[in-house]
Amino acid sequence: MEDREAELSEHLGELRARLIRSIAYVAAGAVAAWVLYGWIYSFLTRPVRHALHTVHTKMLLTHVAEGFMLKCQVSLLAGLIIAAPFVTREVWLFVRPALTKDERRPVRWVVPLSVLLFAGGVATAYLIFPAAMNWFIGYVPKDAELRPSMSATVVFIVKMLLAFGLVYEMPIFLLLLAKIGIINSRMLKSSWRFAVVAIAVVAAVVTPSADAFSMMAMAVPMVGLYVLSIALVKFVEPKGSG
C-alpha cells in the first residue's frame, strides 16, 4: 500500500513538473512573440492589408489602449503556437514510461509528426486568408465603407491559425486512442460516414468566423487526415486486429 502511494506521489510530482515546464514554454513563447511583435504583426496582417488595399481602406483602432492590448493578446496566442511542439514533447515524455519497448517503437515519431501536422494546419489557414478576405469583402455593399477593427481582425487571424493547427492533430488523437485499445482501423473504416458528419460539426464549431468558406477549408483537409489516421492506426495496431 505504501509502495502504491509512493508511486502515485511520484507520478503526481512528475506531472506537476511537466505542467510547470509547459507553462514556462508558453511564457517563453509569449516573451519571444512580444520581442518579435513587429515582424509577427506584419506577417499576420499581410493578406488582410492586401485585401483591404483593393477597396482603398485599412484597419481601425477605436481607443488609445487598443494597440497595447492587441500586442498582449497576440503575444499570448503566438506563445501558445510557438510552445505547442514543446508541450507535446512533455506529454509524450510523461506517457512514454507507461509503454513497453515494443509499444514505444511505432509511437516514437508521434512528436515530430505532431509538429508537422500542427505546422501544416497553421500553413493551410494562412494560405486561405487571401481568398477568404476577398470572399468576405465581396459582400460589402457598394454604398458602405469597410473599416474593420484592428484588434478584432488580428486576434481573429491568430485564433484561426491556432484552430487549424489543433484540428490537424486529429491523427495523433486517434492514434493514441488506438494505442489504449478504444478504437481500431476496422472501426474507423466502418464509421467513415459518421466521421464526415462529426468533422463538419467540429469545423462549424471551431472556426472563429463560422462562415461556409472557412468551414469547408477546414473540413476538406480533415477528411483527408481521417483517411491518413486509418493508415496510421493500421500500422501501429497488432497484426490481425484490424
> Counting beta carbons within 10 angstroms of the beta carbon of residue 211, is it exposed (0 to 12), middle (13 to 18) or buried (19 or more)?
middle
Please state, in angstroms and rounded to a whole number, the distance separating the CA atoms of residues 54 and 205.
Answer: 30
**Per-residue pLDDT reduced to its tens digit, 33-73:** 999 999 998 988 888 888 888 888 888 888 888 889 989 98
CA distances (Å), origin 229, targets 30, 123, 174: 32, 20, 7
Question: pLDDT category, 241, cuts 50, 70, 90?
Answer: low
Residue pair 162/80 in contact (Cβ under 8 Å)? The answer is yes
Query: What pLDDT is attached to residue 75?
Result: 92
Q: 209 versus 35: which is more confidently predicted?
A: 35
Confidence at residue 103, expressed as pLDDT on a 0 to 100 scale: 63
Q: How far apart are CA 8 and CA 14, in angstroms?
A: 10
How far apart are alpha carbons 130 and 208 in whole angstroms?
A: 16
Is the pLDDT at 228 greater than 90? The verdict is: no
Given a cut of 60, is residue 2 above it in pLDDT? no
Q: What is the spatial distance between Cα 64 and Cα 67, in angstroms, rounded to a whole number?
A: 7
pTM, full prediction: 0.76
**Residue type for 205, please?**
V
Three cell numbers, residue 71: 500586442
Q: Band of the pLDDT at 32, cuts 50, 70, 90?
A: very high
Which range scores top for mean pLDDT: 61-70, 107-116, 175-184? Answer: 61-70
107-131: b or e for each residue (b if 16 or more CB lie within 10 Å)? beebbebbbebbeebbebbbebbee
Q: Please provide the average confidence, as pLDDT, over all residues in the chain.
A: 82
Residue type, 76: L
pLDDT band at 107 (very low <50, low <70, confident <90, very high): low
pLDDT for the residue numbered 114 = 81
How many whole angstroms from its chain centre is CA 78? 11
Which residues are 149's β-sheet partners?
60
Question: CA angle, corner 117, sides to 232 and 51, nearest 5?
Answer: 145
